[in-house]
Structure 1
């Protein structure tokens, strides 16, 4: 009789433990993690985004030991082809799921534009629950594929009870990076992401999550950007400045083609060549909004008082591609340069 009771108790506890596992949804968008080539030795020249989410999940059966996992295919592209339509679809889907009994979201994504998608979601997801982007630097068919371990780590992070209120994160090569600070800094190495100005949030060691830093900028539920009814985003482009800069011609063409905002990848702390700057000043009088970033990998932009008075906006320490994301969202709220500047200082 005692053995029967013990068995019943054991079974009840087992069921209880199973039910207690976090419910994690993996949303797939493609990328190298879903890439394939007909050679185990080759890590370049593959076709990205050809393997489906169910195959990726089956390749890492260990994730079901730490979470109840389900998957959904949002897109299956090379992330160099990421677009606003997928961004809006992804953000809306995440907001919908996190209102339900979902404990966290993992997004498989190509690394080329991962930092941009992460920052976009960091500004538009309206939940304190974990949202984690993950990818790979080597295709799934490579003998040294990094995708499976990265995916396991991402699920472990999304399932971790201490991962709430951290904003959107990236899990790559055992690192935890915040969406605002994460930058891809190597074209091929598996250790491809760093956070030059902020440092890593923490690390993942054999599925165990360790946080060492906190997020200082407002994110997710503390941002004013609501994309629930948006079908498109304002057109914002990026231009480089350089010696003997002749991109004023491109600036005019972009403005004439409907560009509402422009991010300039300035030299140094945000300097802009006089050839381009004069064109920008003229177009700003006609309504163009200009945020000044830098082509330098780390550090903040310094916009002079005179330039501030003209309407130039400092991107702070956001790189050009992330400054573009914030300027797009800012333009859904206001066209006042002073108010947009406040967004850059806060988010």
Structure 2
């Protein structure tokens, strides 16, 4: 019996239906008579024609997914970014080639925590440049700051074409690595075109997550990326892509001027990006770190949790001097709604993501009212049934 085409098959594969299966029967019969491999014959016969396959570019940045373990069972002991992206894609051939025409670009080969905001700026510009020719993009990265990189791309990439971020918790070379299935599923999802206008999404451990909502929850478990507040967007089970919800911005898909954010990096210099830092709060936290950051030239501060009295005391003169302050929740779920004076609430946006949004906002304006408005529109996007 032949496998039934999955409901989430790529758009470029939809032309291959019943006629393709009949062709497969004929080819398999001939190969079987000749003593060949029927399974390989079916895969070759059922692959879409090259002209029908979408073009997907895989942009590698290193991380665990490209890591080389010290041994085949070194699940946590490895060198990240040791393998070029073309080798990862090549390992998945011929199956990945039946999903899409895949090209590769190596942006870098580091752990995700080693990249700077200037690097993020360059990566966004590269993604947009590649999407001028490709139908979709997959970005591989380390999981440590995956949620930040994905959210940065979500805020800055101008193209509505699918952008899928993936990675792994185990290096590519170990037994049971999650890298190969994660990369294959990411390409499958990107090639399907079904997340067009979603912005950036994360594909990890068979789950599709919104870049804004996802966060890393474990340093070791394969299901580390979660969306505790809202849940996943959907799943990928073999060839079946199931989408159960969508980010609010899809409503503006046919209105590019509304779909795109105001954070066009073509108009924002990478050398003049403002400095924004996160201040973690805890019992009896000192105020000197706040003062030191202000003295170092930060233009924005995100407090993760309610400031201690000494932190609040240090923040007051900082705000008076023009430093923009955002209040975020330091817990796994929940939101910050009510804030004093000019402090901007991040609602349920994670502190590390509120920092990115504040940084981009301050790169465009020093008007506190405009920054607050952008936090409401892009930091806390909602479906508006009448808007």
The question of whether the paired residues in 2 share the 8 Å contact of 1:94 and 1:105 is answered with yes
Offset at residue 75 of structure 1 (A)? 0.7
CA distance in 2, matches of 1:340, 1:31: 33
- Check whether the contact 2:66–2:81 (CA below 8 A) recurs between aligned residues: yes
Give the Cα separation in 1 of the matches to 2:247 and 2:345: 21
Distance 2:227 2:69 in 1: 31
1:258-269 residue pairs with structure 2 within 5 A? 258-266=297-305
State which drifts further: 230-239 or 322-331. Answer: 230-239
8 Å CA contact retained: 1:217, 1:346: no
Q: Structure 1: how far apart are the matches of 2:347 and 2:207? A: 25
- The equivalent position to 2:260 in structure 1, one of 222, 245, 250, is 222
- CA–CA separation in structure 2 for the residues paired with 1:112 and 1:207: 28
- Give the drift of 1:88: 1.0
Q: Which moved more, 1:13-22 or 1:175-184?
A: 13-22
Q: How does 1:1-347 map to 2 (within 5 A)?
A: 17-61=49-93, 62-100=95-133, 102-217=134-249, 221-229=259-267, 230-232=269-271, 233-246=273-286, 248-266=287-305, 271-304=306-339, 307=340, 309=341, 311-347=342-378
State the distance in 2 between where 1:239 and 1:285 align: 18
CA RMSD after TM alignment = 1.9
TM-score where L is the length of structure 1: 0.90
Q: Structure 1: how far apart are the matches of 2:166 and 2:370?
A: 33
Shift of 1:346: 1.1
> Could you say if the C-alpha distance between residues 16 and 243 of structure 1 is closer, same or farther in structure 2, counting changes exceeding 3 Å?
closer
How far has the Cα of 1:15 moved from its partner? 10
Q: Give, in angstroms, the shift of residue 217 of structure 1.
A: 5.0
> If the length of structure 2 is used for normalisation, what is the TM-score?
0.81
SS at match of 1:145: coil
Secondary structure at the aligned position of 2:49 is classed as helix
CA contact (8 A) 1:156 1:208 kept: no
Q: Which residue matches 1:3?
A: none
Structure 1 unaligned spans of 5+: 1-6
